Amino acid sequence: MTLTHEQASEMGRLSAARRKERPAFPPLDSPANAKVRLATISNMLMMDKITPSQAQAQERLHREWRETFYADLDFKRMRALEQQVRELEQQLTQARVMRRSA
Q: Is the pLDDT of residue 23 over 70?
A: no
pLDDT of residue 50: 87
The residue extents of the domains of the chain are 16-76
Structure confidence at residue 14 as a pLDDT band (50, 70, 90): confident
61: three-class secondary structure by DSSP: helix
Determine how many CB atoms are found less than 10 A away from the CB of residue 6: 8
Closest C-alpha to 68, from 31, 42, 41: 31
List, for residues 59-101, the tens digit of each pLDDT value.
Answer: 999 999 999 999 999 999 999 999 999 999 999 999 999 888 8
**Residue 37 · residue 26 · CB < 8 Å:** yes
- The answer to whether the predicted template modeling score (pTM) of the entire model surpasses 0.95 is no
